């Protein structure tokens, strides 16, 4: 079975944020991710990670206003300076939190100019942080209208253009199903590029149990393919988090 991580932005919301680390460990998780950790005391988070003996798997970049502001703009023409300034801010947080991966969000944009800007910003970022693993993630445009990176062929083209060892694919099975309707086929075509995996049920984006995505088969495929990265639960629990954790058993 894969190594499972808990997305603390989505899971254990019934608890105060700082209590979610220990709750994740007690529930059987060995790693956690936080999408936007910028509003919490950084050293307190690091202390919780150490105290709970958890790996910090992933955080997002850039640090936007997650309630109303743009969620990323690495592919948005005209704001390259803002992207680079905020990437440096993310790196300052990463110096303390030590995430395994930083997910660079493309933002809302379209067309060849946006792709060129995305590639150039990523080339700058991989050189700026050569020892940091960076990821890009296709996100469906139903959940995030206008998002630039909304298909796997574009992601493959961008990754090939940047061609950096510290940049890889972030594969979210929920988004893959929304985008292609075929998680297993999409993984077969693009899984070799993946360094991080996220899961949620479909429809509803609840626990990865039942529904339209055969997660036992998907996890078996990850094992068969030799995937050694983390699999993170990024979903909205139907009730309290602890009631729906059979998927990690």
Q: What is the pLDDT of residues 154-184, one digit of tens each?
A: 999 999 999 999 999 999 999 999 999 999 9
Average pLDDT, integer, range 210-238 = 97
* pLDDT at residue 245 greater than cutoff 60: yes
50 preceded by cis ω (within 30°)?
no
Q: Domains of the chain: which residue ranges? A: 3-248
3-248: CATH superfamily: Divalent-metal-dependent TIM barrel enzymes (3.20.20.150)
Residue 40 φ then ψ, to 5°: -115, 150
Tokens of 123: 């080339």
Q: How many CB atoms lie within 10 A of CB 62?
A: 26
pLDDT on residue 1: 81
Average pLDDT, integer, range 62-83 = 80
- Mean pLDDT over each residue of the chain, to the nearest integer: 95
One of 33, 115, 207, 234 is an active-site residue; which one? Answer: 234
Chain segment 115-134, per-residue pLDDT in tens:
999 999 999 999 999 999 99
Q: What percent of the chain has pLDDT over 70?
A: 98
Chain segment 179-207, per-residue pLDDT in tens:
999 999 999 999 999 999 999 999 999 99
One of 33, 115, 137, 207 is an active-site residue; which one? Answer: 137
Average pLDDT, integer, range 60-73 = 72
Whether 72 contacts 63, CB under 8 Å:
no
Clarify whether 234 is annotated catalytic.
yes
User: What is the distance between the alpha carbons of residues 70 and 145, in angstroms, rounded to a whole number?
Assistant: 11
Chain segment 131-144, per-residue pLDDT in tens:
999 999 999 999 99
pLDDT on residue 69: 65
Q: What is the DSSP string of 72-114?
A: --TT-TT-HHHHHHHHHHHHHHHHHH--SEEEEP--B--SHHH
Clarify whether 238 is annotated catalytic.
no
């Amino acid at each position: 079975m894969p190594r499972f991580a808990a997305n603390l932005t989505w899971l254990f919301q019934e608890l105060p944020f700082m209590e979610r680390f220990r709750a994740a460990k007690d529930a059987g998780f060995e790693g956690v991710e936080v999408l936007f950790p910028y509003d919490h005391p950084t050293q307190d988070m690091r202390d919780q990670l150490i105290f709970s003996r958890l790996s910090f798997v992933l955080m997002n970049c850039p640090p936007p206003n997650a309630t109303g502001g743009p969620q990323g703009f690495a592919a948005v023409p005209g704001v390259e300076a803002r992207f680079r300034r905020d990437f440096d801010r993310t790196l300052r947080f990463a110096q303390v939190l030590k995430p395994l991966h930083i997910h660079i969000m493309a933002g809302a944009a379209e067309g060849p100019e946006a792709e060129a800007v995305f590639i150039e910003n990523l080339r700058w970022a991989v050189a700026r942080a050569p020892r940091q693993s960076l990821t890009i993630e296709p996100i469906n445009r139903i959940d995030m209208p206008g998002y630039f990176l909304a298909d796997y062929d574009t992601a493959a083209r961008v990754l090939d253009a940047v061609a950096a060892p510290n940049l890889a694919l972030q594969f979210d099975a929920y988004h893959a199903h929304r985008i292609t309707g075929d998680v297993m086929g999409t993984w077969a075509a693009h899984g070799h590029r993946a360094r991080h995996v996220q899961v949620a049920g479909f429809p509803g984006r609840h626990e990865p149990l039942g529904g339209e995505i055969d997660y036992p088969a998907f996890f078996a495929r990850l094992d068969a393919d030799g995937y050694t990265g983390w699999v993170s639960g990024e979903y909205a629990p139907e009730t309290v988090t602890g009631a729906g954790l059979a998927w990690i058993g």
